[in-house]
Structure 1
Amino acid sequence: MPTSMPDIANQAQAHIEGTLDWVGMSNIEMPFMVASESGLPQQVAARVEAFVSLDDAKAKGIHMSRLYLAVDELANDDVLSGSSIRKLLDYFIESHNDISQQARVSFAFEYLLRRKSLVSGKQGWKGYPVTISAVRNNGKTELEMQVGITYSSTCPCSAALARQLIQEAFQKQFHDEDLNIDDVVAWLGTTDGIVATPHSQRSLADIKVKLSDDTDILPIVAMIDRVEAALKTPVQAAVKREDEQEFARLNGQNLMFCEDAARLLQYELSKNSTILDFWIRVNHYESLHAHDAVSITTKGITGGYRA
């Protein structure tokens, strides 16, 4: 007769007693179908972290295989949504009900969207880093979504300095002539006419939001659309010359310091009642300086995110 396999986690007592905040696994690699607001679910390749608290000071450890198998079942049999995440965390605690009272999980992945160009109508894929996190404690689940969105930022100070140089070049060229509109237009189309350009740089808006308790379909696309519409200069995918020209125009009409970008997003997210709290960090990866320009802000509620 085969002997039963030992279960040290159940049978052995901890050499040193003590509770632990979280015990589990990270970097679990699995594919998931993410429920979409705009049609069919999208498959993503995610890295998962799964934890439960170890509240029994005498317990040797948790049952990690139960966490893994539950995550695997979600990946194979369900879509990633608010309701499926709550169900997963409930099982984490149920499967450890004698030693754990809290559970947490996170899913980090790149979400691909088909984005249309500004003018030509060409389309291309853009990837957005997303992390979905949730914590279950005392029967309540807190659901958090984090999204990274790249955009272009043009420095207002640099633009003003460039305009001054253009004014000086114009005055030097035409100061003693009767102006002819055709001559001016032709001159403005040369490198002598535009003697300086403002500096701009790729920038990143990193946003965390706490979602309302009744959230089911994760509002990934809605958040990306809202942020890109507020900033007006999102990084493009497929572009033709007319798209590049429109992008240049949008940059010129939406000059922004990192403070401006953070305030724009703060105002925009404050209008959304489904967002319980938010944390915003904008990084402008400077082309002038060797360092970055950064602004961080929160909704500012009591007990909420801290800057």
Structure 2
Amino acid sequence: MNALPDIASQACPDQPLPLDWVGMCGIALPVILAGQRQAARADAGVDLADGRARGIHMSRLYLALAALQQEELTPALLHRVLADFLASHSGLSRRANLALRLEALLERPALVSPLAGWKAYPLQLDACLDARGFHVELGLEIGYSSTCPCSAALARQLIQQRFATDFAGRTPDHAAVLAWIGSAQGIVATPHSQRSTARIRVRLAAGCTTLPVLELIEPLEAALGTALQTAVKRADEQAFALANGQNPMFCEDAARRLSRCLRTLPMLAGFQVRVEHAESLHAHDAVAESRWNWPGD
């Protein structure tokens, strides 16, 4: 039987030229994160350092991804897969890259009641292995509520003015004030809030042995104070209203809170933050960014 032709192994028919990245995008595969099997999409590739080669062996990259289905995602596993990429392209490639996109599905408790529900956190992992070494970057999105401090101050002023009007010329007793505060007539204005998104991208420190998804989410949500909820009772909704009232923030405030929090986490070598407040007053978004020890700065 004649051997099957292997066009990719032939020399480049044109003038030799190295390529920065060659591979496949959008590969569907299951991975294991936080003990759960998750559906992911992978981009896998290498450089083509040998400019005389016609192409790479994409099937070898595809087959190497099978290791991701067998055990928990860790930096060590990602390093092993990338090393397999390069070993299967010895003499052709010097750099390997892998990107994984998925949603981390985590069960989150309610604020007060015993209820809990599932929340999906969009997540991206980017790993690179080359002559300079190995590094992993992790990107995630966190949803939260943001109450405008300016709107809150303006609302308080209107409430004060209504109070002065309703009780003009008389000294109100405790019961009358308490009833007024609890009435729609008294609280004539409320501050506006909006659903907001924090997009965090971190570079893991060299000694990090795990993918610290929950270790990032929990302190960041605590720093914001108003993370989006899942299942709630009225007591939880009231607690959420209280959290919003105690945590008014412009996008600049949110970016600073997250930046300060991230600087305290020892498993990080650098980060960049982008917060987007989907304004309920305006038809445009309010955005702030912060970076620390990020490549290119």
Aligned-pair Cα RMSD in Å: 1.2
Answer yes or no: is 1:108 the counterpart of 2:101: yes
The more displaced of 255-264 and 16-25 is: 16-25
CA distance in 1, matches of 2:69, 2:273: 34
Contact 2:29 2:69 in 1 (8 A): no
Aligned pairs for 1:1-307 within 5 A? 2-34=1-33, 36=34, 41-71=35-65, 73-138=66-131, 140-299=133-292, 301=293, 304=295, 306=297
Question: SS of the residue aligned with 2:287?
Answer: strand
Question: SS of the residue aligned with 1:205?
Answer: strand
Contact 1:145 1:208 in 2 (8 A): yes
CA-CA distance at 1:187 after TM superposition: 1.5
> 1:240-271 CA deviation, whole Å, 9 max, x = no partner?
00100010011001110000000111111111
Question: SS of the residue aligned with 2:79?
Answer: helix
Question: Taking structure 1 as the reference length, what is the TM-score of the superposition?
Answer: 0.94
CA distance in 1, matches of 2:186, 2:69: 62
Question: SS of the residue aligned with 1:91?
Answer: helix
AA of the residue aligned to 2:46 = V
Question: SS of the residue aligned with 1:252?
Answer: helix
The more displaced of 148-157 and 75-84 is: 75-84
AA of the residue aligned to 1:215 = C
Question: SS of the residue aligned with 2:227?
Answer: coil
Contact 2:68 2:77 in 1 (8 A): no
Question: SS of the residue aligned with 2:68?
Answer: helix
CA-CA distance at 1:79 after TM superposition: 2.6
CA distance in 1, matches of 2:209, 2:31: 16
CA distance in 1, matches of 2:154, 2:15: 66
AA of the residue aligned to 2:55 = G
Contact 1:67 1:92 in 2 (8 A): yes
CA-CA distance at 1:305 after TM superposition: 5.3
CA-CA distance at 1:208 after TM superposition: 0.4
CA distance in 2, matches of 1:256, 1:191: 25
AA of the residue aligned to 2:58 = M
CA distance in 1, matches of 2:242, 2:44: 46
> 1:90-109 CA deviation, whole Å, 9 max, x = no partner?
01111111110000001110
CA distance in 2, matches of 1:260, 1:19: 46
CA-CA distance at 1:139 after TM superposition: 5.8
> 1:168-199 CA deviation, whole Å, 9 max, x = no partner?
00000011122111111112111111100000
CA distance in 1, matches of 2:131, 2:240: 50
Gaps spanning 5+ residues in structure 2: where? Answer: none
CA-CA distance at 1:11 after TM superposition: 2.2
Question: SS of the residue aligned with 1:149?
Answer: strand
CA distance in 1, matches of 2:53, 2:156: 70
Contact 1:298 1:305 in 2 (8 A): no
CA distance in 1, matches of 2:236, 2:187: 21
CA distance in 2, matches of 1:186, 1:14: 86
CA distance in 2, matches of 1:212, 1:305: 17
CA-CA distance at 1:15 after TM superposition: 2.1
CA distance in 1, matches of 2:296, 2:277: 22
Question: SS of the residue aligned with 1:209?
Answer: strand
CA distance in 2, matches of 1:199, 1:13: 62
Contact 1:277 1:305 in 2 (8 A): no
